[in-house]
Amino acid sequence: MAAIRHFLDLHRLTTETLRDILDLAGRLKAAHAEGKAADLFAGKTLVMIFEKPSTRTRVSFQVAMQQLGGQVVVMSEGESQLGRGETIADTARVLSRYADAIMIRTDDPQKLDDLEAHATVPVINGLTDFSHPCQVMADVMTFEEHRGPIEGRVVAWSGDGNNVANSWIHAAGRFGFTLRLACPKGLRPEDAVMNWAEGEGADVIITDTAEEAITGADLVVADTWVSMGVSMGDEEADARRKLLQPFRVDGDLMAKAKPDALFMHCLPAHRGEEVTDEVMDGPHSVVWDEAENRLHAQKGILAWCLG
């Protein structure tokens, strides 16, 4: 029997597979634009488990399945038996009898691994506290649509070394671009992720200042300063904001990137905090194309997972 095609993390898949998925995504996007009816997912059902809020992930996965003739069932932790202690393993066994794929958005990445270990259908990572691979697939797709191959380009991340940053590190290893992460001390990506990058020979560095990372970059990326997985009191949150203030992407910082640099943000944005309106709504910003490409990138992911 062929191995189940799980989409768990970018560093757990080969460059060839990730390129195949992006190729599928591009073809499905073009087919949709041409109005070609596709029933690729006819008779297929995706179950989505949400243990955290979502706008883009929920709607884009649902629309992706529906546009290609498939069905979706959405489960939230609070409204399911997961909230009353049924294990992920047992949930995986049961859902595999109903569905053709399972997507999960959760906190602990161990839950993703438990789901993978016990599901007999593909499992897709819709964000954990560790990573957000669907997002970065859409981001790479968006960069390449606007600027051509990302290989050899310079991507700058400014802010918290969070789950999305981790997936960018994995992407640097797989897609062959330079990644400069400007993160304050204490909010840098974990050593394990940086060690993975080093072991892969990936060109990933951490800088002390946003200027160092952004100067001459082809793409500047920002994300929220307080991710969903971070819980803290008001005082701690204030201290964190103060620490991150020099990493806010404003017009002056953006001007240090290449003149034709792009700006991305996975959204939701906290305007005026990690990014100013000037940048979000400015000429470098491709945030709406990026959000749209969640739909197309995930069609590619689903098509690959469902074989």
Q: Per CB under 6 A, does 128 bind ligand CP?
A: no
Beta carbon of residue 61, minimum distance to ligand NVA (angstroms, whole number): 13
Pick one of ligand CP, ligand NVA, none as the site partner of residue 55 (Cβ within 5 to 8 A by kind). Answer: ligand CP
Beta carbon of residue 38, minimum distance to ligand NVA (angstroms, whole number): 28
Beta carbon of residue 265, minimum distance to ligand CP (angstroms, whole number): 9
Pick one of ligand CP, ligand NVA, none as the site partner of residue 104 (Cβ within 5 to 8 A by kind). Answer: none
Tokens of residue 229, six digits: 């997985």
Among candidate residues 11, 105, 118, 296, the one labeled active-site is 105
Please, what's the largest Cα pairwise distance for the chain? 56
Q: Per CB under 6 A, does 55 bind ligand CP?
A: yes
DSSP 8-class letter at 189: P
Q: Per CB under 6 A, does 164 bind ligand NVA?
A: yes
Q: What are the E-state strand segments in the chain?
A: 45-50, 71-76, 101-105, 123-125, 154-158, 178-182, 204-207, 219-222, 262-265
d(CA 113, CA 124): 11
217, 258 contact by CB (below 8 A): yes
- Pick the stretch among 50-58, 62-70, 230-238, 239-247 that binds ligand CP (CB under 6 A): 50-58
The question of whether 294 is a catalytic residue gets the answer yes
Instruction: Identify which of 11, 86, 95, 110 has the alpha carbon closest to the alpha carbon of residue 46.
Output: 95
254, 263 contact by CB (below 8 A): yes
Site residues (vs ligand CP, CB under 6 A): 54-57, 127, 135, 266-267
Site residues (vs ligand NVA, CB under 6 A): 127, 132, 162-164, 223-224, 227-229, 266
- Residues classed as catalytic: 105, 132, 135, 223, 266, 294
